[in-house]
Amino acid sequence: MSESPIRVLLVDDHPLVLDGIQARLEGEPGVEIVGQANNGKEALREAELLKPDVVMMDVSMPVMNGLEATRHFQADFPDVRVLILTMHDNREYIVQLIQSGASGYILKDVSSDELIKAIETVHQGSTYFSSGASQTLFSNFDAPVTTAESGVLTKREEAVLKLLAGGCSNKEIARDLDISVRTVETHRQNIKNKLNIQTAAGLTKYAIEHNLVQLS
């Protein structure tokens, strides 16, 4: 029995952008566009009716912008993954959105293949940043690596968390650290238990706030 397609709700205040994204994704066997919305308030109303798995949403919109809508999704629909799709390559936007519960941030210049990869990644519970967003977010961390709760995580757990925050999958982390996928899964669960954080977006938020991410 094949898996059900990922149900996606598109949110943007420009109809041409919505139609363009839908045209790019239609025909993909693993993705189903279940609806469109023109602002955050409308997106929340549609989400209640349509039960999407992933909401792909712009930041700058009238009535309710993407940042405010992301906070509402985190509070009211915690199982729905929010993937930001925007032209704004702005570190402050990215940090605020991740802290508010977004699972990913991609720029509108990405290819169709990367768009699908981002949807699949956040649906699986991981975080995803397009290369442009990653460079903006992670290239300016000058503060030393410290945590508010000194000694809570082991050095290996910190290394795993840094890669998780960078959007790496368990398999990629295992390859980078030369350990097994099962060991990565164990570290990941230990990190969640120690920090009492159960979501990938929450772990990314923690890594950002505690200057654990230092990528160039």
pLDDT tens over the chain, length 216 residues: 347 899 999 999 898 888 888 988 888 888 999 999 999 999 999 999 999 999 999 888 888 888 899 989 988 998 899 998 888 766 677 777 777 888 888 888 888 888 898 899 889 888 887 765 665 555 544 443 444 444 577 788 888 888 887 777 788 888 888 888 888 888 888 888 778 777 777 777 777 777 665 443
Using a cut of 0.75, tell me whether the model's pTM lies above it.
no
Contact assessment for residue 171 and residue 181, using Cβ atoms and an 8 Å cutoff:
yes
Domains 6-138 and 155-209 share a fold: no
What burial letters (b/e) apply to 127-155, b meaning 16+ CB within 10 Å? bbbbeebbebbbeebeeeeebeeeeebee
Q: What is the pLDDT of residue 12?
A: 92
Token representation of residue 75: 């509070």
Farthest CA pair distance, the chain: 51
Measured distance CA(141)–CA(59) in Å, rounded: 23
The domains of the chain are located at: 6-138, 155-209
Q: What is the pLDDT of residue 136?
A: 56
Alpha helices, DSSP H only, in 30-180?
Answer: 40-50, 66-76, 91-99, 112-123, 131-138, 155-165, 170-177
Measured distance CA(114)–CA(46) in Å, rounded: 25
Which of the 8 DSSP states describes residue 112? H
Coil vs helix vs strand at 146: coil
Q: Which CATH class is domain 155-209?
A: mainly alpha
The vertex-178 CA angle with 98 and 154, nearest 5°, equals 60
CATH superfamily for domain 6-138:
Response regulator (3.40.50.2300)
